């Protein structure tokens, strides 16, 4: 499968002398490597692939791997965790970047950031083909990833199905990709929300976004049940506070926005149109004061789960109850 959600430089030839994969998203880094290896083996089935960690690439190793061969064989040399290379090895790599060998493709993986930035800058200056593999921290990015996975598989999935899958699986791209692969293998025709529900009901009930949805809808008992299930199945508390914050902020944004068609509001607020419809249904009992109370509760819970409190579970339960009460504030006014 092609590298999904990766931004590349204008030189998009996987057989470019040097490919630089930058970021910390393991799935995308692995796919960047796989794309180069697949292209090399398509050009020469006998391509020799050497996959090395930073500690395996000692001074002199790169020169040995890239020295001319009597058989002029094609070779792919993968160097992982480039930011952790020793100073002497970095000198070797920089020298190689200035005069890459023919029939050899170097794939340099780098986490980005300040550590090892000199090597990163040198690779870019040398004109390396670059693939961005940053962590997907925003739900919208993971949603776009799922859509891209379905497109790459040549299949159609409704927006609601894509969102349900993200809600059910969470932030692990490998699991999201695996879920898409399973659904496309098992289901014929368009994949909808009902199909995702059948496959991932248990996961969906344990989702941080399910906790948030039930809380902003004022359904305290169901939100608490989903919260306890989430925690029991290993969902990180910080992911739950993040989902709660997103749910309350969406209520606040839509409450403050002018009326209009979902498509217009979607552009204005940066939400997909289907989410506008969902949030409209969720915001019926909310007041501006209720939103303020809920945001303060989320901030307190976030601090609580990050060390300011003794009991993260209690902090989350208190937050969920406060949000659910705030969701019914209009009815009590």
Residue whose structure tokens are 């060390």: 307
Confidence (pLDDT) at 152: 93
Label residues 284-310 b or e (16+ Cβ within 10 Å = b): ebbbeebbebbbebbebbbebbeeebe
For position 203, what pLDDT does the model report?
58
pLDDT given for residue 71 in this prediction? 63
pLDDT on residue 226: 85
Residue found under tokens 């792919």: 76
Q: In angstroms, what CA-CA distances link 143 with 79, 165, 168, 235?
A: 30, 9, 12, 19
Q: 180-188 contacts: CB < 8 A, separation 24 or more?
A: 180/146, 180/149, 180/150, 180/153, 181/149, 181/153, 183/157, 184/150, 184/153, 184/155
The domains found in the chain, sorted by start residue, are 18-133 (3.40.50.300), 139-200 (1.10.8), 208-327 (1.20.272.10)
Name the pTM for this structure: 0.59
How far apart CA 163 and CA 29 sit, in angstroms, is 24
Best CA proximity match to 52, nearest among 78, 32, 29, 74: 78
For residue 135, give the nearest of 106, 167, 111, 169 by alpha carbon: 111
Per-residue model confidence (pLDDT) at position 200? 75
The SS3 assignment for 307 reads helix
pLDDT, position 5: 46
Is residue 330 packed enough to be buried (19+ CB in 10 Å), middle (13-18) or exposed (0-12)? middle
Please give the pLDDT value at position 14: 92
What is the distance between the alpha carbons of residues 245 and 211, in angstroms, rounded to a whole number? Answer: 11
Identify the residue whose tokens are 């941080």: 208
Hey, how many other C-beta atoms are within 10 angstroms of the C-beta on 207? 26
What is the structure's pLDDT at 73?
A: 79
Predicted confidence at residue 108, as pLDDT, reads 96
Q: Is 48 in a helix, a strand, or coil? A: strand
pLDDT of residue 272: 65
Residues of the chain with pLDDT under 50: 1-10, 204-205, 333
Report the DSSP pairing between strands 75-79 and 48-52: parallel
Q: Compute CA distances 67 → 37, 96, 202, 310, whole Å.
A: 19, 11, 54, 59
What's the pLDDT score for residue 2?
41
Q: How far apart are CA 31 and CA 186, in angstroms?
A: 24
Please say whether the beta carbons of 116 and 87 come within 8 A: no
**Could you tell me if 319 and 241 are in contact, meaning their C-beta atoms sit under 8 angstroms apart?**
yes
């Amino acid at each position: 499968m092609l590298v999904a959600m990766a931004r590349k430089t204008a030189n998009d030839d996987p057989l470019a002398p040097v490919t630089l994969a930058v970021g910390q998203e393991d799935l995308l880094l692995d796919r960047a490597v796989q794309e180069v290896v697949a292209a090399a083996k398509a050009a020469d089935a006998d391509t020799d692939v050497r996959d090395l960690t930073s500690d395996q690439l000692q001074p002199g190793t790169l020169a040995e791997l890239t020295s001319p061969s009597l058989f002029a064989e094609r070779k792919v040399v993968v160097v992982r965790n480039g930011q952790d290379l020793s100073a002497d090895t970095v000198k070797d790599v920089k020298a190689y970047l200035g005069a890459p060998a023919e029939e050899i493709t170097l794939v340099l993986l780098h986490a980005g950031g300040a550590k090892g930035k000199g090597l990163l800058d040198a690779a870019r200056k040398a004109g390396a083909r670059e693939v961005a593999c940053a962590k997907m921290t925003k739900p919208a990015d993971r949603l776009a990833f799922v859509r891209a996975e379905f497109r790459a598989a040549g299949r159609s999935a409704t927006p609601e199905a894509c969102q349900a899958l993200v809600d059910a699986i969470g932030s692990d791209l490998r699991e999201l990709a695996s879920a898409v692969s399973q659904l496309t293998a098992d289901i014929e025709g368009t994949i909808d929300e009902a199909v995702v529900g059948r496959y991932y009901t248990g996961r969906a009930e344990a989702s941080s976004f399910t906790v948030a949805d039930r809380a902003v809808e004022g359904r305290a008992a169901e939100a608490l049940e989903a919260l306890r299930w989430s925690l029991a199945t290993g969902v990180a508390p910080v992911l739950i506070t993040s989902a709660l914050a997103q749910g309350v902020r969406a209520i606040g944004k839509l409450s403050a926005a002018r009326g209009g068609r979902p498509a217009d509001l979607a552009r204005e607020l940066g939400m997909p149109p289907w989410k506008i419809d969902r949030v409209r249904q969720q915001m019926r009992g909310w007041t501006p004061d209720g939103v303020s109370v809920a945001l303060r509760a989320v901030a307190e819970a976030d601090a609580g789960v990050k060390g300011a409190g003794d009991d993260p579970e209690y902090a989350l339960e208190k937050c969920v109850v406060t949000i659910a009460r705030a969701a019914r504030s209009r009815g009590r006014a």
